[in-house]
Amino acid sequence: MAWRSKRSVSEPSAPPTVVQKFGGSSLATPDRIFNVARRIAETRQTVERVVVVVSAMGDTTDELMALARAVNAEPRSRELDMLVSAGETIAAPLVTMALHGLGIEAISLTGFQAGIRTSRVHQKARIVDIVPQRILDELDGGRVVVVAGFQGATEDLDITTLGRGGSDTSAVALAVELGAQECDIFTDVTGVMTADPRVVPSAHVLEMLDYTEMLELAALGARVLHPRAVEIGAAYGMPIRVRSSLEVHPGTLICRSQGMEQRPVVRGIAQETNVAKITVIEAPDRPGVAAAIFEALAAEHINVDTVVQNVSHRGRTDVSFTVAATDLAHAESVVQKAADSIGAEGVQSADDIGKISVVGSGIMGTPGVFARVLSTLAENGINVEMISTGEIRMTCIVARDRVADAARALHAAFELDRA
Amino acid sequence: MAWRSKRSVSEPSAPPTVVQKFGGSSLATPDRIFNVARRIAETRQTVERVVVVVSAMGDTTDELMALARAVNAEPRSRELDMLVSAGETIAAPLVTMALHGLGIEAISLTGFQAGIRTSRVHQKARIVDIVPQRILDELDGGRVVVVAGFQGATEDLDITTLGRGGSDTSAVALAVELGAQECDIFTDVTGVMTADPRVVPSAHVLEMLDYTEMLELAALGARVLHPRAVEIGAAYGMPIRVRSSLEVHPGTLICRSQGMEQRPVVRGIAQETNVAKITVIEAPDRPGVAAAIFEALAAEHINVDTVVQNVSHRGRTDVSFTVAATDLAHAESVVQKAADSIGAEGVQSADDIGKISVVGSGIMGTPGVFARVLSTLAENGINVEMISTGEIRMTCIVARDRVADAARALHAAFELDRA
């Protein structure tokens, strides 16, 4: 995370401020925009200073991407940013107009106008600075400030976007910069759940999670909140509440771990089917070889996930890792070049796989969790192709068509099914 | 026109540059965007420096306006500007991507990025300054620059729009600022015609017009080119060519009058049906009374057209004028208040009227033109409700359902029918 707030969250001078982010499905129609405006109006009754961050309406971003691909199969990222940023630039004034209709003073700002300065990496830009003066002036003037999420601008005034889920990042970064009490992420689900309820019917909403747990769940496929937003929240201790824009429910509060309270070791099950595996076969086992592969991928902004390197035989080793299935074609050509240059035997890939993970702060310190994951999967006849473990999670790569079975089995095995 | 270019058009240092503007119907689909890109590519083969100005695709602006009205019956103009500017911000990168697909280096810029600084009158902003440095840098770098038309930004970085037809204004102003050789306005018609061909089948394309003729035709309803764009062209002597994006045809060149050449006195017939009439009855006939009415309308940015004031009787007079029919409801309430404050008897209005005009540089100096207009209309049983004349035009207000008949009769009477 490049951006470092100049402000301390606990700075006592910051007047009570709330940042609320509304996602695209909450804004998909004029009726839903009204509904969002009413939620903001309710907040405004008790909080003087309200900043709202909005995503693009419904499928606008996808529609703009489709238009781009209709005129150019490989549009350049700078032009894509200018194009797709329009989605949020449309949503922000519409929410503002709806607030005006409720008699609430409000003003919309683009990311640039809101002072969000980013790096030059188009499509995946990082926030490097926030110059909040305009927002502060508007708040001082008694207005609700509606900021177009997902977007910012470089030093050269070029428009950038923060990548998918970037509106979450805009919201949490603004909450930190403005010294807000809390950042509310309104979405179309009730909160963060123990598993995907479409796959595990007994899944239920978690009342509270710590940042690392949320980070793992988000990174592992729980799309409710973008990992970078959680990272920023964790770095500055900004409480983030994930809640529904459609129902009245406290949702899930993501905050610093509350210590030693008694709670289940495994907090949630995450799954991801947009996964493909690449294996570099018989790479020379010497320093710098794996680095050459991963640096080439990083240079193309391809995220690498689970990595497994087998033990070396006769100075050669297989390196396997996963990437998003949607990145597979691009990743294969990058890896093939790198494999050639380091003198590996070949490159194989598979895209019929998925990921299943169990997450919880106490996993590492609790004997038997890893064993119970593997025995549960084995009892259900699910073969594990790769394993990776982290401080608070265990991830297994399994056949894509068994991911849902695995989620249900693990949800039950770790007693997450609702009583 | 607030904006004054710091540059002289004839400045010899400006390298050959062409500005081309493409309207919304020329960009309505990915196929049409490709077509536009091919036209630009052809130009680029012979001209080093090409600046393109684009409108929003097809009906985008109307769709965005409809969204606005779905969330607020009377959206504020600042928010409307942020909203509708997105239409051009979408079109510019799409054209740029299509150019990339043809192997042409290009970059899109918003109005703000292109240095277009405007007044704060949202929805009808005026260009106050152009800071062309970014455009010049990109041209120096060998790129075609695709600018989002219709939009600019204030000193405070708020987004503004220039009003309907504002992309024409963006294009001509940029052409002047950049010292371009010519400003091409590509549209879905072949050029400026002697009359609306949907009404007058014998109408044909004019090869050349002077600025004042075009100005009158544009102001009188020929929607091919925005009047403010013509004003700027006239002020700086920038040649403007109106031509088709779909066919290869030189179109109509609008430039300074070529002197005494032999040509028809009446160059074209213009019509307009978006017209309504307001009459202030028995207003006191003393200085400042008419001004009170028109100042009140100007304060609301309502354009007043043809004005007729009858001779005074017993210190009282009727003042009639026309406004756009779409402005009628708004104008009526403004005029009613003004009429009350000056002690007029009442306000009447009618919106079943239309305007028919004949335009040509020599009209005033040619005896019998006015008489021939009136006798032609009389012969066709068309009653004239109001008359106004200008240096190069004569306008008659007639019943809306006779406007087309009047256009055909006058086109024939002034020998504009194609041989």
A172, A275: one domain: no
Residues of B in contact with A83 (CB under 8 A): 89-90, 93-94, 97
Residues of B in contact with A152 (CB under 8 A): none
In a domain, B12, yes or no: no
A353, A224: one domain: no
A219, A395 contact by CB (below 8 A): no
Total number of domains in chain A: 2
CATH assignment at residue A211: 3.40.1160.10
Closest CB to B94 among A30, A68, A96 = A68
Residues B106-163: tens digit of each pLDDT: 999 999 999 999 999 999 999 999 999 999 999 999 999 999 999 999 999 999 999 8
Identify the helix (H) or strand (E) that includes residue A211: helix A211-219
Give the residue from chain B lying closest to A106, CA to CA. Answer: B79
Across residues A364-380, what is the average pLDDT?
A: 84
B35, B159: one domain: yes
What is the torsion angle, in degrees rounded to the nearest 10, for the CA atoms of residue A128, residue A130, residue A131 and residue A136?
180
- Average of per-residue pLDDT values in chain A: 89
B293, B322: one domain: yes
- pLDDT exceeds cutoff 60 at A419: no
**Among B76, B97, B122, the residue to mutate for chain A (most A Cβ within 10 A):** B97
Residue B79 contacts A, CB cutoff 8 Å: yes
A30, A154: one domain: yes
Tally Cβ neighbours within 10 Å of residue B258.
Answer: 9
Confidence of residue B418 (pLDDT cuts 50, 70, 90): low
CATH assignment at residue B293: 3.30.2130.10
Residues of A in contact with B96 (CB under 8 A): 79
How many CA atoms lie within 13 Å of B387's alpha carbon, on the beta-carbon side? 10
In a domain, A101, yes or no: yes
What ipTM does this complex have?
Answer: 0.76
Residue B110 contacts A, CB cutoff 8 Å: yes
A75, A69 contact by CB (below 8 A): yes
A200, A250: one domain: yes
Closest CB to A101 among B64, B71, B82 = B71
Residues of B in contact with A72 (CB under 8 A): 97-98, 100-101
Interface of B with A in 144-203 (CB under 8 A): 157-159
**Between A264 and A9, the higher pLDDT residue:** A264
Q: pLDDT value at position A27?
A: 95
In a domain, A261, yes or no: no
In a domain, B263, yes or no: no
Q: Exposed e or buried b for every residue in B286-315, given b needs 16+ CB within 10 A?
A: eeebbeebbebbeeeebebbbebeeeeeee
What is the rounded CA–CA span in Å between residue A359 and residue A279? 26
Across residues A139-163, what is the average pLDDT?
A: 96
Confidence of residue A400 (pLDDT cuts 50, 70, 90): very high
Q: Can you give the length of chain B in residues? A: 419
Q: pLDDT value at position B419?
A: 47
From B206, B221, B255, the end of a domain falls on B255
Q: pLDDT value at position B7?
A: 59
A230, A282: one domain: no
Tally Cβ neighbours within 10 Å of residue B7.
Answer: 16
What is the rounded CA–CA span in Å between residue B95 and residue B27? 8
Question: Domain containing A198: what range?
Answer: 17-255
**Between B352 and A259, the higher pLDDT residue:** B352
In a domain, A107, yes or no: yes
Alpha helices in A262-306 (DSSP H): 289-299
Nearest Cα residue to B38 out of B271, B248, B328: B248
B186, B298: one domain: no
A123, A240: one domain: yes
Residues B172-217: tens digit of each pLDDT: 999 999 999 999 999 888 899 898 888 999 989 999 988 988 888 8
Q: pLDDT value at position A260?
A: 45
In a domain, A356, yes or no: yes
Give the residue from chain A lying closest to B112, CA to CA. Answer: A157
Tokens (6 digits) for A120: 């030059």
- pLDDT exceeds cutoff 80 at A13: no
- pLDDT exceeds cutoff 50 at B1: no
Confidence of residue B94 (pLDDT cuts 50, 70, 90): very high
B323, B305 contact by CB (below 8 A): yes
A237, A346: one domain: no
